[in-house]
Chain A
Amino acid sequence: MGKLFKTNFSTAVIVLIPACIGINYIGKLFAQVLKLPLWLDCIGTCIGAILGGPVIGGICGAANNLIYGFTTGDNITLVYALTSLFIGISVGVMSRLGFMESFPKAMITACVGGLAAVIVSTPLNIIYWGGQTGNVWGDAVFAATQAANLPVWLGSLLDELVVDVPDKLITGVIVYLIVSKLPGKLTSLYDANAVVESLD
């Protein structure tokens, strides 16, 4: 178990974290520019998790929301630091378990990430927003469940599910395509198990 969470805090890894946070931001921006009905705002978190392991993934996720929350005054983001934290951790764990090696496996990882997001976000939505997510389609589902007198938690869960799982699946595809072609000279910098071989 200890090995699963083994983390290298070298300078290369420290520098990786802000880069991943930047990638999150740019991903979100491109999705807006292209007017895509998706967020695509955790590509960097997933890349950080895959390269640096679950701890780095978690830090990327949490720091992402904390930094944007604190500086752009958008404290809505702040609350979801917990969600990003768990996306990072779950993707990191899945990746260390070998679930990034092939495309179908990467899709399983994406589903796990999506479910982690749903499970953590739902209670936050209920506490903070009374169950909504702020996404038009998701909130329509929520309104429908409330009209049908279903419990708030179920409505909120469905609301989140409709929004998060497709988003994380597409994110998973993109991350897989990118990570699978990273050169070895680069990935070895973040490897927690790298050692210097002797040529003497």
Chain B
Amino acid sequence: MSLIEIKNLKYRYPGTTELALDDISLSIEKGEFIGIAGENGAGKSTLSQALLGLIPQFYKGAYGGSVVVDGLTAKTAPVAELCSKAGLVFQNPFNQLSGAKDTVYDEVGFGLQNLGTEPSEIHARVEEVLKRFGIWEYRDRNPFDLSGGQLQRVAIASVLAMNPGILILDEPTSQLDPAGSEEVFHTVDELTETGITIIMIEQKIEKLAEYCDKIILMHHGRLIDFDTPEKIFSRDDLMEYGVMPPVYTEFARKNALRLPDGNYPVTKKGLLELIKSRGVDREKLLTALLKIISSDVCEPGMEGDKIKSPGKGFSAEASGSESSDRTFTVEDLHFSYIKGNEIFNGINLCLDRRPTAIIGQNGAGKTTLVRILKGLLKPDSGRLDFRGQDIASKTVAELAGKVGYVFQNPDDQIFKYNVLDEVMFGPLNIGMTREEAAERAHEALRTVGLQEVSGKNPYDLELSDRKMVAIASVLAMDTDVIILDEPTIAQDYKGRKKIREIIRDLSSKGKLVIAILHDMDFVAQSFERVIAMAHGEILADGTPDEIFRNHPVLEKAALNPPHLVSLMEELEMEA
């Protein structure tokens, strides 16, 4: 008898017509590390929640087949009983707090209290898990005051305090900054040693490849394959299921580096070992790698045409003067939220029309900087110019037609009944006529690939599509500058590809795109200019290649280089 047995599992959410899970059968053994891969809407979260009995007990809907977890039938056993067998940690760090406890210590003890554990036992277990995950020092803090990475560790500790044999991680790092993700993965590292069974859903495919013994590949609610990472990621049809193979696998495929069993390696370590054992010419591999990195395109399926530098193209037609390229000029900018506590003390920056990514940890000042550019925050002193006009004194509404800003969370802005109305709200506010606004809105929806759902209720869409609605609602305002705050969060491979196309499309029209990003691979592929920030300072400013090969800067900003760059560096070292 396996630890988890799933037989012919079918499930449909209430009020929908399509099956979210369609005839899934598989079994998982004790101590395995299982990954679940698939595009958004494939049924990954639904499957994980079926293990805890939340499907169907919590959601209701229509259910068929059976799930048995460590001897308990998930359909009928109380969730309160199942939760001592399996723990769940999911994406949003804030929403998984109990919301009723004002210290980290009490938060971690909450589950055990509910199960009626003896207080002395609770104290012992809480202390044990807090120390194990390095959060003992935060025990008296209010959980709502912690950073995302710290919170996710609290969430993992809260669940593990209940001693489950299975831990389910549903994209635990998708909303964290790079340092936060590292914290969480470091915790996962430690857990693998303990022999606990882990099931992890993750869009960071390189991480899945690194950890997993086996991968569940899902598409449209169906189980496509359940096998080793090497087998799964070497599938020729993988992209059809909306899953990108790890960059290492892709590189191996391009250079015909096969493992003895005919599959490709999936991790950096595996790839380097293979190269070593085969004695492949490193110089040749390096040339191939450099070509991929510098061409901005490292994926199959992407049109390889590199767009001409929009900056140059534009200055030629725009009256020839050198300054016409300048969009923002920031000189000696000072800013503080609380008097005497300066976030920026004297920032100088000049932004032209090259698509620009701002990178750095949370708290580096990235969001503050773009909010100042947008006029949402007013600088204490310094010069802030937009196309030669001083904007430090302009109101947000006055700037609305010039600078567009897509907020990180689309749910902070969506309020209309249907997608089209939502997208038309901005254009109408800045004085477009209804016809003009509708036309712009349709065009924007076409750009983000949502023209078919323009009549739908935005809240019936997935989060990734709602993010696209938010992007469209700003695109439709046809502003000269578009600021994107974390556009790739919650996006799968297809979504990221779409955003990359949008960025190119905008900059080919001469618009400036500024984006705050935590996904370095995406930055390397999509931007011409990168600004690295830390502690309210600009550490470095240059092309992706310059920044990502500058180790002191990356270290200071606590960032890791993109996967391919780190692969290249390892190869160079050995060559």
A and B touch in the complex (CB under 8 A): yes
- Interface residues in A153-200 by Cβ distance below 8 A to B read 180-186, 188-189, 191, 194-200
Q: Are the C-beta atoms of A188 and B64 separated by less than 8 Å?
A: no
Residue interface bits B1-19, CB-to-A below 8 A is 1, else 0 = 0000000001111111000
Can you name the residue of chain B whose Cβ is closest to the Cβ of A188? B14
Chain B hits for A186, CB < 8 A: 459
Q: Are the C-beta atoms of A183 and B457 separated by less than 8 Å?
A: yes
Also in contact, A185 and B16, with CB within 8 A (given A196-B56, A199-B10): yes
Can you name the residue of chain A whose Cβ is closest to the Cβ of B60? A194
The interface on chain B, measured as residues whose beta carbon lies within 8 A of the other chain's beta carbons, has a size of 23
A15, A195, A198: the one within 8 Å of B60 (CB): A195
Q: For the complex, is A31 an interface residue (Cβ under 8 Å from B)?
A: no
Can you name the residue of chain A whose Cβ is closest to the Cβ of B65? A200
Q: Are the C-beta atoms of A181 and B459 separated by less than 8 Å?
A: yes
- Interface residues in A1-38 by Cβ distance below 8 A to B read 10-12, 15, 18
Chain A hits for B313, CB < 8 A: none
Chain B hits for A200, CB < 8 A: 64-65
- Interface residues in B249-275 by Cβ distance below 8 A to A read none
Q: Are the C-beta atoms of A196 and B62 separated by less than 8 Å?
A: yes
Also in contact, A196 and B61, with CB within 8 A (given A185-B13, A185-B16): yes
A10, A18, A185, A195: the one within 8 Å of B15 (CB): A185
Q: Are the C-beta atoms of B457 and A199 separated by less than 8 Å?
A: no
Q: For the complex, is B337 an interface residue (Cβ under 8 Å from A)?
A: no
A184, A194, A197: the one within 8 Å of B63 (CB): A197
Also in contact, A181 and B417, with CB within 8 A (given A196-B62, A196-B63, A198-B62): yes
Q: Are the C-beta atoms of A183 and B59 separated by less than 8 Å?
A: no
Docked pose: A10 CA to B80 CA in angstroms? 13
Chain B hits for A10, CB < 8 A: 58
Q: Are the C-beta atoms of B15 and A188 separated by less than 8 Å?
A: yes
Also in contact, A196 and B459, with CB within 8 A (given A18-B99, A185-B16): no
Residues of B with Cβ closer than 8 Å to A?
Answer: 10-16, 56-65, 75, 99, 417, 457, 459-460
The 8 closest A-B pairs by CB, nearest first: A184-B15, A199-B64, A197-B62, A188-B14, A194-B60, A200-B64, A196-B56, A199-B10
22 contacts between A and B (CB under 8 A): A11-B58, A12-B58, A15-B99, A18-B99, A181-B417, A181-B459, A182-B459, A183-B460, A184-B14, A185-B14, A189-B58, A189-B59, A189-B60, A191-B60, A195-B60, A196-B61, A196-B62, A197-B61, A199-B12, A199-B63, A199-B64, A200-B64
